Amino acid sequence: MRFFEIVVIVFNLLLIGWILVAKKKPVPWLLIGFGVSTILILIHGVIEGWRWQMIPAYVMTVVPLVAVAGRLLFKSEQSAERVVTKASRVKRIALITLAVIYSSVAVALPLILPVFTFEEPTGPYKIGTVTYDWKDQARDETFTPDPGDKRELMVQIWYPADAQAEGETELYFSNPDVFVEGYSKLLNMPKLLFTTFAYVKTHAIENAAISNREPSYPVLIFSHGFSGHKNQNTFQIEHLVSHGYIVVGIDHTYSSTASVFADGRVANFVPQDTESIAYLDKANEGWVADAKFVLDQVEKLANNDPDRRFTGRMDMSNVGMFGHSFGGATSAQMLMSDSRIKAAINMDGILYGKQRIPAEGMKKPFMMMSADDSIEVKNTADTVSVQIIEETLPRYKHVAVGGNYWMKIKDMKHMGFSDLYLFSPIYEKLERVDARKAHRLINDYTQDFFDHYLKQQPFKLLEQNMGEHPAFELEKG
């Protein structure tokens, strides 16, 4: 919960407890309690924003007024403090029981559906961000009926910002209503459950000055999973940027939760045949084309940025790529097909795409991160998933060949590689995943991998932690 949410709830709980337990409740004190509670709620609303999950806590504010009204019904202090009968004792116990139940709901709702936060980045840099709307005039858009429609992509770039950078940090979603609708449809759950997205903040400052601490910074391309979005791995992106990387996130239009273009147009997710391996192999070619086009545009920025932010500041001789799920598969394909990509990480992505990993390995630095749950064939009613795993597992045969790495994370699920489980602790409980612990592990090893291959720094973790560990198994070919 946010700070003032906690203050409001704690104060109102103490106030109700006092009203129920205290024998004497002077009217002036009841009115003061009401006034303080009202002021706290107003401060909370102005600074943090009101939300429906806090309604039970807000309602507690009127309890002192109800108590005052009850006092006024009595004609005298003696009648108000009359001898307690058996019936009145039962009534009192019932009121206390109802108050406890109601208070439990008031506390549970904002805890179950919190305005989640991202952990403070551990690196020395602050984080700047800027967003672009890029159109590839060389490619037709195949998801729309308009024959003249060209492929258009929303791209967000995060970069190391000056230590003195100041400004309002960006919201997780600049258009929360669009993504509330998108998540509701994709997960088949009520919109109300996702309204907290409107309040979630990141650590990024829009248009902040780029840091002069280093002359240039390695560039990483990020590709999301099917129905994901360009900032679905904010936990990881912010960590990498704080340690001196420029990260470029792509929204793969019509395959993302939603893409909101610069002029306000919205391209929502288009359902696709995710049960066909042949279809997904072909679809991946489009994602690879997206990544290549974005990399072309990034090169232009590095050479001559109209805003003078990135000119000469992007180290285009050290470019890597990472992605989750289908975006992870895209990263592997880019490593094999685009000479500009020097190193890549695939986070739990089935190895879809045109090319297969050769028997001699990638011959370029590569790391596969897998959830143990994703590479096990288990007894389940989902026969399609079992079939896909069985048919694609042979594609992993040469993953670690040639000195590359395969990390298998234990007690992990597919979506644990994204921000999703931060949305509610219920997700973590149901999936039995400690999301923040998993994120720290992912961040540490992602940074170690790219630090070595793109910054030429010695390994601190990968080479030192081969084999079996309580949280993971690490293999090197």
Q: How far apart are CA 400 and CA 407, in angstroms?
A: 10
Q: How far apart are CA 380 and CA 357, in angstroms?
A: 29
Which of these, 372, 367, 379, lies nearest to 477 by C-alpha position? Answer: 367
Q: If you average pLDDT over residues 167-189, what whole number do you get?
A: 94
pLDDT attached to residue 369: 98
pLDDT attached to residue 383: 65
CB 393 within 8 A of CB 356: no
pLDDT confidence bin for 1, thresholds 50/70/90: confident
DSSP type of residue 364: S
H/E segment holding residue 187: helix 176-187
pLDDT confidence bin for 81, thresholds 50/70/90: very low
Name the residue type at position 24. Answer: K
Q: If you average pLDDT over residues 151-175, what whole number do you get?
A: 95
- Residue-wise pLDDT for 184-218, tens only, equals 999 999 999 999 999 999 999 999 999 999 999 99
Strand duo 217-223 + 246-251: pairing: parallel
pLDDT attached to residue 84: 47
pLDDT attached to residue 427: 86
Strand partners, 132: 155
- The owner of tokens 């974005």 is 294
Angle at 429 between CA 443 and CA 176, to 5 degrees: 65
Which distant-in-sequence residues (6+ apart) come within 8 Å of 153 by Cβ? 133, 134, 135, 136, 250, 251, 252, 253, 259, 290, 293, 294
- Residue-wise pLDDT for 136-161, tens only, equals 999 999 999 888 899 999 999 999 99
Residue 6 has pLDDT above 80, yes or no: yes
Task: List, as one string, the DSSP characters of 301-313.
Answer: HHHH-TTSSSTTT
- The owner of tokens 């010695």 is 458
Q: If you average pLDDT over residues 105-126, what whole number do you get?
A: 95
Report the predicted TM-score, pTM, of the whole model to 2 decimal places.
0.91
pLDDT confidence bin for 78, thresholds 50/70/90: very low
H/E segment holding residue 138: strand 126-140
> CA torsion sign, 257 to 263 to 265 to 267?
negative
Q: If you average pLDDT over residues 32-54, what whole number do you get?
A: 95
Looking at 82-91, 327-336, 351-360, 396-405, which range is the least confident one?
Answer: 82-91
pLDDT attached to residue 85: 58
Q: How far apart are CA 13 and CA 36, in angstroms?
A: 13
DSSP type of residue 7: H
Q: How far apart are CA 447 and CA 442, in angstroms?
A: 8
pLDDT attached to residue 83: 46
Which of these, 204, 198, 192, lies nearest to 174 by C-alpha position? Answer: 198
Q: In what order do the strands lie in the sheet with 150-161?
A: 169-171, 201-206, 126-140, 150-161, 246-251, 217-223, 314-324, 341-347, 366-371, 405-409, 472-476, 467-468
Tell me the percentage of the chain whose pLDDT exceeds 70: 95
pLDDT confidence bin for 87, thresholds 50/70/90: low
Residue 327 has pLDDT above 90, yes or no: yes
Strand partners, 171: 201
Which of these, 247, 11, 24, 31, lies nearest to 123 by C-alpha position? Answer: 247
> CA torsion sign, 220 to 226 to 231 to 235?
negative
Residue 376 has pLDDT above 90, yes or no: no
pLDDT attached to residue 309: 97
CB 153 within 8 A of CB 139: no
Q: If you average pLDDT over residues 399-425, what whole number do you get?
A: 95
Please state the domain extents for the chain: 3-112, 126-476
pLDDT attached to residue 477: 86
Query: Has domain 126-476 been given CATH number 3.40.50.1820?
Result: yes
DSSP type of residue 210: B
Name the residue type at position 195. Answer: T
Beta strands in 224-313 (DSSP E): 246-251, 258-260, 266-268
Q: If you average pLDDT over residues 382-400, what whole number do you get?
A: 85
Strand duo 201-206 + 169-171: pairing: antiparallel
Strand partners, 346: 323, 368
Crossing angle, helix 63-73 and helix 27-47, to 10 degrees?
Answer: 160
The alpha carbons of the chain give a radius of gyration, in whole angstroms, of: 27
Q: How far apart are CA 424 and CA 421, in angstroms?
A: 6
Q: If you average pLDDT over residues 295-307, what whole number do you get?
A: 97
pLDDT confidence bin for 365, thresholds 50/70/90: very high
Q: Assign 3-state DSSP to the chain and report helix, strand, coil percentages, each to 5.
A: 45, 20, 35
CB 457 within 8 A of CB 451: yes
CB 51 within 8 A of CB 115: yes
